[in-house]
């Protein structure tokens, strides 16, 4: 099997729990660290799947690496190579496939419940899960590209996930580990302090709720990743 390419746009936003999931199943993967200057491949053919992680930037920013990433996403769809996007990664998929990314009504940071849509695609991806506490850190939101099926929503963000066949785009974060949450709280402390959004938790709230909610989030990630890897190319 060709490796999965995992694209990192910020040093604190690596694959997290996804790396553990893949390693336990001996599924090969390769990190492409855009944040330290790794080149974006022009062709997806060398990979069995493409994964895009989060980042503090906007897909609408004038950054040199964004156009080649958007082109690579379209190339993967043409080659039927599955895509998986987390937060910024989901927004990149949306923009590449004709959707738009714009400011969400409020900033959403911390633990927040999401509801699974009532459709066959949502049941295929989430199994018996109907709702769960996801982890959030975003101020923008994506629209659904043509052909997409809505999968998740929250009280503060209508489009939390969608699928297009074997491709999955998430606005929320299911890849979290305790170490990532601690790092994000440290890096984002000033952003949290400056926010008046009703959907932004304090650092202490996030950390106090972590032990109770992270195992469930890991379980949901297992469900999603297990379904996604079924579509991997040989």
- pLDDT digit string (tens) for 47-58? 999 999 999 999
* pLDDT tens-place string over residues 83-107: 999 999 999 999 999 999 999 999 9
Q: Which residues contact 180 (CB under 8 A, 6 or more apart)?
A: 12, 13, 14, 16
* Burial category of 34 from C-beta neighbours within 10 Å (exposed 0-12, middle 13-18, buried 19 and up): buried
CB atoms closer than 10 angstroms to residue 10: 17
Q: For residue 233, what pLDDT band results from cuts at 50, 70 and 90?
A: confident
CA–CA distance, 90 with 163 (Å, rounded to integer): 10
What are the angstrom distances between the C-alpha of 10 and each of 24, 35, 57, 198? 24, 5, 9, 26
Q: Model's pTM, two decimal places?
A: 0.98
**What number of H helices and E strands is found in the chain?**
7, 9
Please state, for a pLDDT cut of 70, what percent of the chain lies above it.
100
pLDDT digits (tens, 9 = 90+) for 144-198: 999 999 999 999 999 999 999 999 999 999 999 999 999 999 999 999 999 999 9
Q: Tell me the C-alpha distance between 10 and 33, whole Å.
A: 8
d(Cα 93, Cα 52) in Å, to the nearest integer?
9
CA-closest candidate to residue 199, choices 77, 107, 91, 99: 107
Give all domains of the chain, ordered by start, each with its CATH number.
4-229 (3.40.50.880)
Distance of alpha carbon 50 from alpha carbon 186, whole angstroms = 29
Question: How high is the mean pLDDT of the chain?
Answer: 97
């Amino acid at each position: 099997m060709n490796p999965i390419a995992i694209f990192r746009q910020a040093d604190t936003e690596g694959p997290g729990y996804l790396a553990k999931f893949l390693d336990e199943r001996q599924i090969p993967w390769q990190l492409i660290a855009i944040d330290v200057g790794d080149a974006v491949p022009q062709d997806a053919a060398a990979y069995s799947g493409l994964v895009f992680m989060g980042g503090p930037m906007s897909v609408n920013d004038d950054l040199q690496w964004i156009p080649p990433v958007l082109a690579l996403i379209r190339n993967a769809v043409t080659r039927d190579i599955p895509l998986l996007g987390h937060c910024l990664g989901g927004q990149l998929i949306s923009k590449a496939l004709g959707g738009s990314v714009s400011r969400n009504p409020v900033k959403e940071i911390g633990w927040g419940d999401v509801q699974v849509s009532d459709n066959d695609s949502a049941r295929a991806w989430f199994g018996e899960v109907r709702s769960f506490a996801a982890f959030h850190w975003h101020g923008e939101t994506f629209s659904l590209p043509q052909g997409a099926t809505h999968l998740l929503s929250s009280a503060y963000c209508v489009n939390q996930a969608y699928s297009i066949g074997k491709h999955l785009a998430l606005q929320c974060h299911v890849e979290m580990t305790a170490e990532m949450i601690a790092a994000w709280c440290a890096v984002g402390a000033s952003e949290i302090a400056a926010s008046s959004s009703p959907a932004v938790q304090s650092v202490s709230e996030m950390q106090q709720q972590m032990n109770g909610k992270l195992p469930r989030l890991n379980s949901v990630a297992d469900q999603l990743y297990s379904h996604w890897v079924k579509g991997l190319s040989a």
